[in-house]
A and B are shown apart, each in its own frame.
Chain A
Amino acid sequence: MVAVTYTVAFHGVEARPVEVQCAVAPGLPSFQIGGLANKAVSEARERVRAALDALSIALPSKRITVNLSPADMPKEGSHFDLPIAVALLSALGMIPQEEIGACLLMGELALGGDLVQVAGCLPAALTAASDGRSLICPKASGAEAAWVEATAVIAAPSLAAVLHHLTGQNLLEPAQPGEVTTHQSAKDLSDIKGQERAKRALEIAAAGRHHMLMVGALGSGKSMMAARLPGLLPQLSPADALETSMIHSLNRLLDEGGISRERPFREPHSTASMAAIIGGGRSAKPGEISLAHNGVLFMDEFPKFLRQVLETLRRPIETGEVMVARANAHVKYPSRFMLIAAANPCHCGYLSDPARACARAPKCGADYLGRISGPAAGSV
């Protein structure tokens, strides 16, 4: 008998529907998973076997074949455990097929049968809503997924709970949307003494989402200034909050169990890699510039960032989106951020302060700032 459940595979922020087919047939005992599954998906076999064992369900001595369809789409992540386990239970006749056709499942199984939080439940809930299905996800992801009001979200603590819910023995309540309460920032603009001109620039930048560059000696308050910015910006609109949270959901940054209306403030270190800032890696994950979507990207020591990073930054600044192209993935992420950059006037940082400037004084500044204002002089 063949049983079918539904789940999703991620392509950027988009969650594409995937059908999980499970057939149990006579033959040499085996358990195979097909359909361009990566390592994490293939390992689902062992987790599913152990989780079923914990429920005192033994796998039959038959040939079990699982296919993830469409089979030519690469699939990554550990969220395939639950749909595979449920498809198998259904193929064994323990869950009626008509129950599982109307829901989309995702979740990672612990060996004891508990459901572990997975990334991307929010985009998955959107897909479920557009397909007219409900979503069954791990309990820890429920608050985030329930934000999509068009679909019912069931957040289950374990495989046993899912089994009881689907067989009607013990129905679970739909999850409630969680919102991270905006904690009033203790950082206030009035903490900064003087610097009226920089404060004015900060105000203009915040009002029109303009990019801003600050140049100044070490300890003159550049980072302090940037850190005050989230307190100045208006809250995100619900639509924008959802858009930003989708990206955060993919990087598992919503583990507080909900969506925040506060604007993201990202400050990557200058040694961060290209993949960390622009996006990429094997699965073309979003980078810092996408995590800062609708918020602030603060780059301290701006000239020290990798050349490649700074060059790639140009396009997203203009277009508000970034194309992450890898051999096996070609993904577009939104990245409409407000760039606040800070730079020292020279290597040691004290050039503009005559009392502390180093012995190499005007030259060290020329070396360092040549990177900044030398070329700028021609283009201003």
Chain B
Amino acid sequence: MAQTIWAAYLAPLLDRFDLRVDVPPVAYSDLELPCDSELSADVAQRIAAARRRQAERYAESPQCVVNADAEGSLLQKHATPDAEGQALLLEIAERFGLTARGYHRVMRVARTIADLADSQGVERAHIAEAASFRLPPAGPSRSQPRNSRKAAAAAQPEKMAMASDSRP
């Protein structure tokens, strides 16, 4: 049961990653392609612009410099999505059983995506992209049925019963 021992301490840690992404092997034929993708300098400019927007927004709260630092009312005030976005966020949260932390982390990432797009408010598309980075990466474990909250709740009493049985 080594797996469950790992699970017990890694699950809360994994919940703290805002972005999870698959890095598949590159096809050999792609390696021959010319280097025509974006230069670091161009991307860095967009990042700097997004950071400037964050600095302006959080100018009055010294504890908060970037979106990742935003908490509580500050996060509510600046990262609450529009009605459509809110509906999508709720749907995703229910379907995948986001933790409260996960829910807020999606909001933060969506805020950053909106900043990169130079958008005042957080919209549905931003929430969708943020949530897409939160779903588990592809791999063999994907085939396992994802626990819904109901299933987890149903499994809980059983576990507890087993635990109490094992006691002398």
Which residues of A approach B to under 8 Å, CB–CB?
185, 187-199, 201, 203-217, 219-222, 225, 228, 231-234, 303, 307, 310-311, 313-314, 317-318, 320, 338-339, 341-342, 345-346, 351-353, 362, 365-367, 369-380
Contact = CB atoms under 8 A, between A and B. Distances in A.
A188 B40 contact: yes
A378 B136 CA distance: 10
14 contacts: A191-B35, A193-B26, A204-B133, A215-B20, A215-B22, A215-B139, A225-B23, A231-B44, A311-B9, A370-B141, A371-B3, A376-B15, A377-B144, A378-B97
B48 to A, nearest CB: 5
Given A214-B23, A341-B17, 14 more contacts: A192-B37, A194-B33, A199-B38, A205-B18, A210-B68, A210-B108, A211-B19, A220-B25, A221-B23, A320-B69, A338-B68, A365-B139, A365-B140, A371-B3
Nearest to A203: B43
Contacts of B18: 205, 208, 210-212
Given A193-B33, A215-B23, A210 B109 contact: yes
A375 B6 contact: yes
Please tell me the size bucket of the interface on B. 35 or more
Interface string B66-91: 11110000000000000000000000
A307 B9 contact: yes
A270 B102 CA distance: 26
Contacts of A204: 19, 109, 112-113, 116, 133
Nearest to A366: B140
B16 A211 contact: yes
A374 B141 CA distance: 6
A372 B152 CA distance: 19
Given A189-B39, A216-B23, A367 B17 contact: no
* A185, A193, A311, A351 pick with most chain B CB within 10 angstroms: A193
* B20, B54, B140 pick with most chain A CB within 10 angstroms: B140
Contacts of B116: 203-204, 207
A377 B152 CA distance: 11
B17 A207 contact: no
B41 to A, nearest CB: 8
B39 A188 contact: yes
Interface string B124-156: 000000000111111111101011000010000
